[in-house]
Chain A
């Protein structure tokens, strides 16, 4: 009995030594790592849990505490926990969406992670993570926006993917003549209208104007913005959008396209999973880049980036930085963004894009067909308050296009206050 205990004790010690040796290369971490995440939908949740598990396997002495919070609730809770009880790692969004927290000194400057290779590998999103020359987080995924459409309907009416605005409108007219709405949309939560504005504006005036407008350097009541709204109005006057869109969420607007009552949907790639669940396979669902409006303008695209940050109040910053490096590593990026997991695009240039029709097309579009620039999205490029009033204005415009003068005046008045700081 005594000897058995001795042997097993020796075995445990031996195992412990090998384990230590094996992980010494990976700079074994110890202590705690507290992660707050907003990846609460089923697929992202599994991804987040998987990442924590794999990072834990690399560092067995590290005690990882993962808390997943409902994505919508997270948006209001983040202020409380960043100031009161900061985790070591927290999810958030890029560009202006992180500005209030950076300005308040709540997000840690992580420029050292970006030094060297990382900056080249993550070059595509570096700008969106940079404020005043410093980086305040790392991206883990991004996705393209575009027009998702019913391929079978397009074939049925002998149409093809439109390249120009004229073709887009001609296609739309054909659908309308056949009793089908051109676009489904649900504007109850406003941001979907922001997507339409982004594309119309970037196609009418270009990416630089989008940047100037969201940064408060351009006026809302201007010839450029009015041109954007005029193009939008053409579609509205045709009756291109489904009726009563103000009462639907983006998910509630999907059945119109699944049932064939609407032909297409300007949306982010995250909608593909839902379309497939709704029964649209690749023979019925396809994707095209938003067509050209003003000839010769370099196309800009929306590709919102989701991110990880280290709160300034974190207590285990070294562990957190190691985790951030792990998140952006090429292998991890390939894995978490593949079709079985997030089904989105990896941000690391060395990662492989999963072999999926929409991911391939999206990756190609963002890498080769968006010379104008990559925008984050209206409500991430514009300051939060501006985004809120502007998107409300977009919804009003979609319902009452005649109110445009009033809307523009209101937005300019709001902008004076918001950009004054």
Chain B
């Protein structure tokens, strides 16, 4: 029996448009949760930052007053600078991870064991990393304190008790797991390096740094991009280490924006939701710069691929 045109017309609206609609159906759950848990709170934060609100009672609209106060707030300034230090120094995880992955990219007995040992710090919780480093830096019995004493150095108050050294100390602790993360990204990247290109370069006399710079690293570009993204995000999220190692101290010198926001809005003594939201908005703006860059660069890649 031939299929008549009449039958086709009778098919339902959904059936007819199935191919066009299905992708959107699959997207709905994701979009819904992203909107409720990400997009909506972003706008809510913007809104709250215009109010004076203790989180309990009535909110009072004060316009941009919270932002004006941020300008006079030295604790905010300190946090901002510390965020900058985190952003710049945390990127050291990328070359460090690359070095280790090059070193581990060999075929010798037990290399898997060495790889897992190097990867270990990324597996353990940030809390544990923070605690381990707190003991390492302890001003009386800490290994680090003893070690620098051997070469005649002393950091007054210990690393975590010294207002100048403290942020660098915490960043160093954060670099430990972050380097491991970058290392694993590069190790997978190195697997896909084209051996023929390496061979060709070798015939042309390239070796050492030149081989690395002109042949290997360009091929690792995707891995570098991901490493850059996760490191930037990691630097801006540096909350748990600060919370566990110093609670922002001594006297607030190791605070970053995320921790300062928590202190002002949500901690034991914090009842300034509006002010906290204003800090969050500033942090969001900083992130937005990177997010825009990431999106743009991914968009360029996609365009290139098509």
Known contacts A76-B267, A384-B271; A100/B54 CB under 8 A? yes
For window 255-287 of chain B, which residues contact chain A by CB distance below 8 Å?
263, 266-272
B48 shortest CB reach to chain A, Å: 15
B86 shortest CB reach to chain A, Å: 21
Q: Which of B17-25, B104-112, B194-202, B246-254 touches A?
A: B246-254
* Residue in chain B with minimal CB distance to A386: B269
Q: Give bound CA distance, A385 to B54, whole Å.
A: 11
Known contacts A388-B263, A410-B74; A247/B268 CB under 8 A? no
The answer to whether A247 touches B272 (Cβ under 8 A) is no
Which of the residues A189, A385, A396, A399 comes within 8 Å of B271, measured between beta carbons? A385
Which of the residues B56, B158, B160, B272 comes within 8 Å of A104, measured between beta carbons? B56
Q: Give bound CA distance, A393 to B249, whole Å.
A: 11
In the assembled complex, A282 has its CB within 8 A of some CB on chain B: no
Interface string of A378-402 (1 = CB under 8 A from B): 0100001101100011011001000
- Tally of chain A residues near chain B (CB < 8 A): 32
Q: Give bound CA distance, A103 to B140, whole Å.
A: 46
The answer to whether B271 touches A244 (Cβ under 8 A) is no
The answer to whether A384 touches B268 (Cβ under 8 A) is yes
Q: Give bound CA distance, A373 to B157, whole Å.
A: 37
B246 partner residues in chain A, CB cutoff 8 A:
188
Q: Give bound CA distance, A105 to B269, whole Å.
A: 19
Which of the residues A387, A395, A417 comes within 8 Å of B250, measured between beta carbons? A395
Is chain B's binding surface mostly helix, strand, loop or mixed? loop
The answer to whether A385 touches B270 (Cβ under 8 A) is yes
* Residue in chain B with minimal CB distance to A75: B268
In the assembled complex, A101 has its CB within 8 A of some CB on chain B: yes
The answer to whether B250 touches A384 (Cβ under 8 A) is no
A243 partner residues in chain B, CB cutoff 8 A:
139, 157
The answer to whether B249 touches A395 (Cβ under 8 A) is yes
Which of the residues B140, B157, B263 comes within 8 Å of A246, measured between beta carbons? B157
B77 partner residues in chain A, CB cutoff 8 A:
none
In the assembled complex, B55 has its CB within 8 A of some CB on chain A: yes
Interface string of B72-93 (1 = CB under 8 A from A): 1010000000000000000000
Known contacts A244-B158, A247-B138, A399-B250; A384/B270 CB under 8 A? yes
B54 partner residues in chain A, CB cutoff 8 A:
100, 103-104
The answer to whether B250 touches A100 (Cβ under 8 A) is no
The answer to whether B269 touches A79 (Cβ under 8 A) is no
Interface string of A69-91 (1 = CB under 8 A from B): 00010011001001100000000
* Residue in chain B with minimal CB distance to A396: B251
Which of the residues A72, A379, A393, A417 comes within 8 Å of B251, measured between beta carbons? A393
In the assembled complex, A263 has its CB within 8 A of some CB on chain B: no
A384 partner residues in chain B, CB cutoff 8 A:
268-271
Q: Give bound CA distance, A23 to B140, whole Å.
A: 61
Of the candidates B158, B161, B246, the one having the most CB atoms from chain A within 10 angstroms of its own CB is B161
The answer to whether A244 touches B139 (Cβ under 8 A) is yes
Of the candidates A106, A246, A384, A410, the one having the most CB atoms from chain B within 10 angstroms of its own CB is A246
The answer to whether A387 touches B56 (Cβ under 8 A) is no
B266 partner residues in chain A, CB cutoff 8 A:
76
The answer to whether A244 touches B57 (Cβ under 8 A) is no
Q: Give bound CA distance, A413 to B71, whole Å.
A: 13
The answer to whether B267 touches A396 (Cβ under 8 A) is no
* Residue in chain B with minimal CB distance to A190: B249
Known contacts A188-B249, A393-B251, A399-B157; A100/B271 CB under 8 A? yes
The answer to whether A247 touches B263 (Cβ under 8 A) is no
Which of the residues A83, A103, A104, A385 comes within 8 Å of B269, measured between beta carbons? A385
Interface string of A228-267 (1 = CB under 8 A from B): 0000000000000001101100000000000000000000
B272 partner residues in chain A, CB cutoff 8 A:
385
The answer to whether A189 touches B247 (Cβ under 8 A) is yes
Interface string of B209-253 (1 = CB under 8 A from A): 000000000000000000000000000000000000011011110
Which of the residues B69, B74, B158, B251 comes within 8 Å of A395, measured between beta carbons? B251
Interface string of A86-111 (1 = CB under 8 A from B): 00000000000000110111100000
Known contacts A189-B247, A247-B139; A76/B268 CB under 8 A? yes
Q: Give bound CA distance, A79 to B157, whole Å.
A: 36
* Residue in chain A with minimal CB distance to B138: A247
Q: Give bound CA distance, A15 to B136, whole Å.
A: 66
* Residue in chain B with minimal CB distance to A388: B269
Q: Give bound CA distance, A156 to B286, whole Å.
A: 61
Of the candidates B74, B250, B251, the one having the most CB atoms from chain A within 10 angstroms of its own CB is B251
Q: Give bound CA distance, A104 to B54, whole Å.
A: 9
Q: Give bound CA distance, A387 to B138, whole Å.
A: 28
Q: Give bound CA distance, A393 to B271, whole Å.
A: 19
Interface string of B117-159 (1 = CB under 8 A from A): 0000000000000000000001110000000000000000110
The answer to whether A399 touches B249 (Cβ under 8 A) is no
Known contacts A244-B157, A247-B161; A399/B268 CB under 8 A? no
Q: Give bound CA distance, A395 to B138, whole Å.
A: 19
Q: Give bound CA distance, A167 to B26, whole Å.
A: 79
* Residue in chain A with minimal CB distance to B137: A247
B249 shortest CB reach to chain A, Å: 6
A79 partner residues in chain B, CB cutoff 8 A:
55-56
Q: Give bound CA distance, A399 to B251, whole Å.
A: 10
Binding site for B on A (CB under 8 A): 72, 75-76, 79, 82-83, 100-101, 103-106, 188-190, 243-244, 246-247, 379, 384-385, 387-388, 392-393, 395-396, 399, 410, 413, 417
26 contacts between A and B (CB under 8 A): A75-B268, A76-B266, A76-B268, A79-B55, A100-B56, A100-B271, A103-B54, A104-B57, A188-B246, A243-B139, A243-B157, A246-B161, A247-B138, A247-B157, A247-B158, A385-B270, A388-B267, A388-B269, A392-B249, A392-B251, A395-B249, A395-B250, A395-B251, A399-B163, A410-B74, A417-B69
Q: Besides the contacts A243-B139, A392-B252, what 16 more A-B pairs have beta carbons closer than 8 Å?
A: A72-B268, A75-B268, A82-B56, A100-B56, A106-B56, A244-B157, A244-B161, A246-B249, A247-B157, A247-B158, A247-B250, A384-B269, A393-B251, A395-B250, A399-B250, A410-B74
**For the complex of A and B, 8 pairs with smallest distance between CB atoms:** A104-B56, A388-B269, A396-B251, A104-B57, A244-B139, A384-B269, A246-B250, A247-B161
